[in-house]
Amino acid sequence: MESVVTELEGTILKDRDPFSYFMLVAFETSGLIRFALLLIMWPVIRLLDMLGMGDSGLKLMIFVATAGVRESEIESAARAVLPKFYMDDIDMEAWRVFSSYEKRVVVTKTPRIMVQRFLKEHLRADEVIGSELVITRFGFSTGFVKSDIDAISSRVEKPFINEKHTFGLGRDTSSSSFLSLSKEKLNPPFITNHRREEPNLLHPLPVIFHDGRLVKRPTPSTALLILLWIPFGIILAIIRIFQGMILPMWAIPYVIKLNGGKVIVKGKPPPPVSNGSSGVLFVCTHRAIMDPVVLSTVLKRKIPAVTYSISRFSEIISPIPTIRLTRIRHVDAEKIKRELANGDLVVCPEGTTCREPFLLRFSALFAELTDRIVPVAMNYMVGFFHATTARGWKGLDPIFFFMNPRPIYEVTFLNQLPMEATCSSGKSPHDVANHVQRILATSLGFECTNFTRKDKYMVLAGNDGTVSHNSCLDRFKMVTSTFKPYFLFFILRKMMWE
């Protein structure tokens, strides 16, 4: 069996410095305090690296990012947040070499808990050899690693019994210990034709679902920019939300431009319904909580929106009416019919948002209730913060959206479905829903999937996405998580007692 052993940083990943990934862990597990503390420590970490102090800089990085954090929260960040940023940093030339071997082993000095899920599920690695965090009996990370980081490469021999691995990929400066065990070795930059081209070359499994608030990988410069922007962003978000609540809908498009936002409209929206006619059902792709609000802004009239599970806070500040569904099919159907009898309505049949260029499976309920269906392709771009979350408090979604310096929305109106494409012509609701999904995906250049809301939440949060409205305990946990650094001394003292 041909095998390959590769270094992660600087080989499979283009960036050899893992600092930004520890910044992500700090932000997602502990909030701004630890995020800022780790950034403050960056000059010290760099100095230790420049002075040739071995892995002292890395150990300090690990300690500041993880000390006092629950192991389960680090695992959650590794499952829901890190894969997207790792995928964006992949060196595809190195991947082509790595994926062409039957047995694949990755060596890294990063704690294995942070990288193993991504490497095994998305890059199809067979073994991951990395450092191991020391976890207390209470389930908290001490910030220390077991044994010596320098000894990690010596464990490469274990997956290979009585033989050397075929190929080694890595930098001589940091990986010479395991490269010396390889029959052949290759250093970056890589040449893809050193191996025969495989007709069925594997591709990395795409990251369809991911969570976390940060859009960009927080390198030191980006992290500093984010920290400096946040106070201004909060003030700007409050102003934008307040304006949306008090201004008439026709005036909002003009204010958006003054606030730095932008809405791009394509296609021709249908005219308002006349008295006595049933309303039009706008079927939208679901990119963020602002989709129905932006649609109403474009149409310059308040269009009620069907919601599945938004926070009470979002409902209070919403400038348009919201109709909360129960997920009981016949009850929800009656609600939607009643609203359509009164006028137009907005629905997002994916049931949840998806950040990547994929559309989740559409619920077929909307197709059963009306033949006046107008598909609307929604997409948005933000610079600093995502306006969706699966693991955090959804009440912050609109605030994070409006904290972005220049949020941009693109709204594309497609033609109303002809009668022969609706259930009136004998088509099944599922066929109609799938047809609408396909034409919206084509309009956006997205890919259709069969994934559902439940699939997303199982991947990101480990639950089915059901939201409890008695969430005081969850909010208390969210607030107290910010103060975890202050419990560090207590945890270290417990370690000493053990």
Q: Could you report the per-residue pLDDT of 454-494, keeping only the tens digit for each?
A: 999 999 988 766 655 444 444 444 444 433 443 444 433 43
pLDDT at 493: 40
The residue that leads in pLDDT, 396 or 483, is 396
pLDDT at 271: 82
Measured CA to CA, the distance from residue 416 to residue 439 in angstroms comes to: 12
Among residues 175, 194, 213, the one where a domain terminates is 194
If asked whether residues 126 and 21 sit together in one domain, one would say yes
Confidence category of residue 452, pLDDT binned at 50, 70, 90: very high
Tell me whether residue 476 is in a domain: no
If asked whether residues 156 and 304 sit together in one domain, one would say no
Rounded to an integer, what is the distance from CA 469 to the centroid of its chain? 24
If asked whether residues 72 and 149 sit together in one domain, one would say yes
pLDDT at 159: 61
475-483 long-range contacts, CB within 8 A, separation 24+ = 475/393, 478/392, 478/393, 481/29, 481/30, 481/31, 481/73, 482/30, 482/31, 482/32, 482/33, 483/33
Tell me whether residue 289 is in a domain: yes
If asked whether residues 21 and 151 sit together in one domain, one would say yes
If asked whether residues 93 and 178 sit together in one domain, one would say yes
Q: Are 182 and 165 spatial neighbours (Cβ–Cβ below 8 Å)?
A: yes
Tell me whether residue 482 is in a domain: no
Residue 140 per-residue DSSP state: B
Q: To the nearest whole number, what is the mean pLDDT of the chain?
A: 86
Residue 339 per-residue DSSP state: H
Helix (H, G, I), strand (E, B), or coil: what is residue 64? helix
Among residues 194, 220, 239, the one where a domain terminates is 194
Q: Are 308 and 452 spatial neighbours (Cβ–Cβ below 8 Å)?
A: no
Q: Are 210 and 83 spatial neighbours (Cβ–Cβ below 8 Å)?
A: yes
Q: Which domain holds residue 333?
A: 230-467
Q: Greatest CA span in the chain, whole angstroms?
A: 83
If asked whether residues 443 and 311 sit together in one domain, one would say yes
Tell me whether residue 481 is in a domain: no
**Does the structure show a pLDDT above 70 at 189?**
yes
Model pLDDT for residues 317-365, shown as the tens digit of each residue: 999 999 988 888 889 899 999 999 888 999 999 999 999 999 999 999 9
If asked whether residues 9 and 87 sit together in one domain, one would say yes
If asked whether residues 159 and 267 sit together in one domain, one would say no
Among residues 194, 213, 239, the one where a domain terminates is 194
Measured CA to CA, the distance from residue 25 to residue 31 in angstroms comes to: 9
Place of tokens 């197709």: 367
CATH of the domain at 14: 3.40.50
